[in-house]
A and B are shown apart, each in its own frame.
Chain A
Amino acid sequence: MRTMMCSRLDEEQSGHRTHPHLLLSTIFFFFSPDGHLFQVEYAQEAVKKGSTAVGIRGKDIVVLGVEKKSVAKLQEERTVRKICALDEHVCMAFAGLTADARIVINRARVECQSHRLTVEDPVTVEYITRYIATLKQRYTQSNGRRPFGISALIVGFDYDGTPRLYQTDPSGTYHAWKANAIGRSAKTVREFLEKNYTEEAIAGDNEAIKLAIKALLEVVQSGGKNIELAVIRRNQPLKILESKEIETLVTEIEKEKEEEAEKKKQKKST
């Protein structure tokens, strides 16, 4: 280890001017004196560069909503997907580096099928989340490899019918959530969810979907057009909502907001 460090320094002293971060990157698997793993923390910054994704766990439904990435004119929109199915009963939304996500998703998909063949049971949501998280953690402790720059929201129903929502991040930790958001304006969306995720708000399927849309509308710049939603209902496959359905729901939400505002005005005047 020490000789590797010294030889690297020699190379940089003898040669041309080198970018200071090059040195940091060769030793990312060291802790800093105050206990930081900078590469992992920088990977979390990379996640913030991706657009927002929100996940909501309802009673009989799980919802994933994402801010669609604006697609170039000549690009096929279908190939720019932030929500992917891992198996029939599990799907995932991610934020961060596109290529890293592709690798993780492929590995997770293979693992889902391998599990089915080996154990003759579909994976539980927790199992596949743990698999993805373990994969990510391995890359934070490896020589010469950088962490995956993605956070993922994994939703689905277990064999016993329980709805689940998990979140993973580049450090390889994972936790179960009732509702969470990742990506660019995650903090704002999370604060909205903390205020508005109530038993009432997720009483029915439609309400849970509307909550996801409302959460995204807090941060998405051009309204319903830039939102993509996916839902899984118990014992049903993943369904991606059509833009018409989303528009209808957005109109309903706006109407509800107006009615609320009217009620408040009336209360004030009386």
Chain B
Amino acid sequence: MFNNLGTTIMATFFGEVLSVYSRAVEEDDDELDENEEDEQIRRELEEKREVHLHWSPEVSESLKSGNKLQCSNFVLAVGQNASSFLSVHILSTANWDTIGRASAWNERSRAVTGQSCEESACVFYRHKDNPTVLICQVSCYVAEDQLFQWTEKVFDCLQHRELNVTVLSDTSVADYKTADYLGGSSAPFLRSLHTSAFGDQPVCQSLEQPNIVTGLPAAVLNHCQVHRIAAVVYQCYSDVIGPDSVTMETYKPVLTKLGRSIQLDLSPSTDALRKFVRTTDLQSNLYI
């Protein structure tokens, strides 16, 4: 079978499903001339999909006057478990100011035009006592065409000198490719990828080939590599879809590295945990 990207899905006799690239790509001849209406629609769509950064007044003032945000540590959490982990272990110490948020509308955003709803925005926090430490939680979906825009806009506001970037990212263990059968007993686990400017030791082993990092963490890592910023991505492979305390615990070793500059809550209360670990199977009686 073919899909419109020119790849086919092939099944072997034993049931392995392989994705192979087909050279029989259809040539489209009829879209050479775009009329004005099409252009206008495309422009409107591009505007709608633009990434907007909304900073707090004092931050916008300082940015306008040409001073970038002083930053020594930037921690980015992409995904529900990564964000919840930061909320429970770091943001719960209440020494953080919300200094801004980013909004990126795409086909997966909820149909709320105008104001972006609280839950799905990307939020930036700054430490009160140590204002060079910034945290960003991204729990919404950033589309492929918005990834580099997001990265460029955010990093344009940060000063690059001696900047250390740590990215925590959730992904499914179903995407992990390995020659040996995992058996699921090892999930969740961490793998890391870092830029050449990253001088420290990552807390876990490197991501093996042919696995790749995609999405926002990849865009950030790419940007940091190009601009020679020390950055590391910790990818957590988990077999659970929603927020889950076991998956969140997997990020704990990263805390030891961060703990040097940030005050942490190493043993959060069960109430704090419960707030973020929404038991996704409350209404679902499928498993017991």
Contact = CB atoms under 8 A, between A and B. Distances in A.
Interface stretch (A94-102, A114-122, A204-212, A232-240): A94-102
B279 A33 contact: no
Contact of A30 (B9, B15, B281): B15
Contacts, number: 74
Interface in B15-40: 15-17
A222 B17 contact: no
B15 A187 contact: no
A221 B245 contact: yes
Chain B interface extent, by class: 20 to 34
- Interface of B (DSSP majority class): loop
B97 to A, nearest CB: 31
Interface in A84-114: 94-99, 101
Interface stretch (A12-20, A56-64, A193-201, A246-254): A12-20
B265 interface: no
A50 interface: yes
Interface in A164-194: 185, 187
Contact of A98 (B184, B277, B279, B285): B285
A72 B282 contact: yes
A270 interface: no
A21 B16 CA distance: 9
Interface residues of A, number: 42
B288 A98 contact: yes
A32 B274 contact: no
Given A23-B17, A98-B286, A98-B288, A221 B184 contact: no
Contacts of A30: 14-15
Nearest to A219: B246
Interface of B: 1, 3, 9, 11, 13-17, 181, 183-185, 239, 245-246, 270, 273-274, 277, 279, 281-283, 285-288
